[in-house]
Amino acid sequence: MSDEIERTEREDLFSKAVKAGKRTYFFDVKSTRGNDYYLTITESKKRFGSDGKFTYEKHKIFLYKEDFEKFMEGLNESIEVIKENAPPIVERESYFDRDASYSDKESSSTTNDTVNFDDLGK
């Protein structure tokens, strides 16, 4: 087996893709030549160029096992601050939902007067 094939087999141990809106996150567990494990976290975003073609913009973090504990502490603390302090997420209505709710409000605010269409012709 060639060194390149053996190296590829040794390096890629686990991969998990997480789609989140316009982004995809990849969590990849890899191995060094010394059989030491590490994690890469890649954020991938699809971007459209002015020519109409798309490319992927990628950002990658290498996280080594000696840093896992401190990384998790920082991540968890940051998430807790966001949960405790950020304003609640308000779902925005789409244009069509807004029109539908407007017409519903409009119709519910009218009185229940009965219109007799025979009277309109007089």
29-49 tens-digit pLDDT: 999 888 899 999 999 998 888
Looking at the domain assignment, is residue 60 inside a domain? yes
> Any bridge partners for residue 20, and if so which?
23
Per-residue pLDDT at 105: 47
Higher pLDDT pick, 74 / 120:
74
Looking at the domain assignment, is residue 113 inside a domain? no
Q: Is 92 helix (H, G, I), strand (E, B) or coil?
A: coil
Give how many domains the chain has, as a whole number: 1
Per-residue pLDDT at 99: 53
For 93, phi then psi, to 5°, come to: -80, 145
**In this structure, are residues 28 and 40 in contact, taking their beta carbons and an 8 Å threshold?**
yes
pLDDT band, very low/low/confident/very high, at 106 (cuts 50, 70, 90): very low
pLDDT band, very low/low/confident/very high, at 51 (cuts 50, 70, 90): confident
Domain of 7, in residue numbers: 3-107
From residue 90, give the alpha-carbon distance in Å to each of 38, 83, 84, 93, 104. Answer: 38, 14, 16, 9, 21
Per-residue pLDDT at 18: 97
Looking at the domain assignment, is residue 75 inside a domain? yes
Looking at the domain assignment, is residue 120 inside a domain? no
CATH of the domain at 27: 3.10.450.700
